Amino acid sequence: MKTLPGRRTRILAATTATAGLVLLTACTSSDDGGSGSKTAAGGVELVKAGQLTTCTHLPYPPFQSEIDGKVQGFDVALIDLVAEDLGVKQAILDTPFENFKTGAFLNSGECDLAAAGMTITEERKKNVDFSDPYFNATQAVLVAKGSGVGSLADVKTKDVALGAQAQTTGEDHVKKEGLDPVSFESSDAVLNGLRTGQVKAVVIDYPVVQGWLKDKANADAFEVAEQIDTGEEYGVTVKKGNTALREAINKAFADARADGTYKKLYERWIGPYDESAASPAAS
């Protein structure tokens, strides 16, 4: 999914998140967690006692979005498992995505980890440490039904107006293909751009498209023209050198795969279980 290219232009429907907005998931946690200790199970040091603070960028369904006043999604549910192992609750901090590449909010002690459907890249590894990959992601070309667009190649040859989410690997990919996409600030804005005719096709992570097409109105109006395998794997980031937390994340994810929890969460938030999409933890 998300990466940070150079200076971008033509940002439409901007909905930049405001850092400092804390949204609590599952249960409410106080700053001191009632214990006063920032050391969780396994000797993991936390930025706030009693809670595992997650940086994310909303919305990005089905991985994280606000539903009925609470942040929920596949990533949220997986990190809840980590928090449970540590004996704390998860709290979510909605932050601008620009900070994910640099690890700014991890380095400043505002978050313990970042989980936002993030693609593991060599560039990001220079600033943060990644968990084991937990999801294989492909890109999708989404178009209106009857558009006559059947692939990304059609977008190029027919000079179709294309949209993508800013700072994402989807945007990077189409630029490498010689296309000049209109950039939207969020995944919701991408879909709105397609719905309102600002663009005639969009490229974005396939799991996000799967989430959109669960809605009957969307499924009646739009279709996947092509899936593009870009070899992307998602990971969770921690501050450089935070080995204890990284290992705790890896253990929780491995346990979830072993006991079937991962499969259940996948089916709830993403759709029918796809073993190939769920297999990267072995790498």
Residues in the chain: 283
Percent of the chain at pLDDT > 90 equals: 64
Instruction: Name the 3-class secondary structure at 219.
Output: helix
Q: At residue 32, does pLDDT exceed 70? A: no
Contact 4, 167 (CB under 8 A): yes
Highest average pLDDT, of 12-21, 54-63, 274-283, comes from: 54-63
Contact 113, 93 (CB under 8 A): no
Q: In which element (H, E) is residue 13 found?
A: none
Query: Domains of the chain (ranges plus CATH)?
Result: 16-135+234-274 (3.40.190.10), 137-231 (3.40.190.10)
- Over range 227-251, report the average pLDDT: 95
Q: What pLDDT, in 10s, does the model give residues 161-190?
A: 999 988 788 898 999 999 999 999 888 899
Q: What pLDDT, in 10s, does the model give residues 74-117?
A: 999 999 999 999 999 999 999 887 788 789 999 999 999 999 98
- Over range 57-71, report the average pLDDT: 90
- Identify the bridge partners of residue 143 per DSSP, sorted by sequence position: 201, 223
Q: What pLDDT, in 10s, does the model give residues 270-283?
A: 888 877 777 664 44
Q: What pLDDT, in 10s, does the model give residues 141-154?
A: 999 999 999 999 99
Q: Which residue has the tokens 């980031």?
A: 237
Please indicate whether residue 166 or residue 44 has the higher confidence score (pLDDT).
44
Contact 133, 234 (CB under 8 A): yes
Tell me what pLDDT residue 282 has: 43
